[in-house]
Structure 1
Amino acid sequence: MINFDEELKKFQPSLDVNEAEDAIYNQDLTDITDVLRELLKEEKNKKK
């Protein structure tokens, strides 16, 4: 059975929209576009 008092103690409110936006945009993540750009750049340099 669920113990509501215990669950309320564990509860953490979700981030505010602005805080969530900052948390998302401040992460430096490499995506597939970055990988492809780097590969094309390397290939271009090899041909020179």
Structure 2
Amino acid sequence: MIKIGNIELPEFPLVLAPMEDVSDPPYRRLCNMHGADMMYYEFIF
């Protein structure tokens, strides 16, 4: 099992990231619909 801080990911996590200039709300919705275990964004706020 993979652990990042206090977040535990399954043995074979699905990790996705957006492409440049893709809006975040639709991206997050698609990731959620398709079962992403973890996702990150283009920029750190």
TM over 0.5: no
Shorter-chain TM-score: what band? Answer: under 0.3
TM-score (norm 2): 0.28
**By percentage of residues, which structure has more helix?**
1
Higher relative contact order, structure no. (Cα contacts within 8 Å, ≥ 6 residues apart): 2
- State the structure with more CA Rg: 1
**By percentage of residues, which structure has more strand?**
2
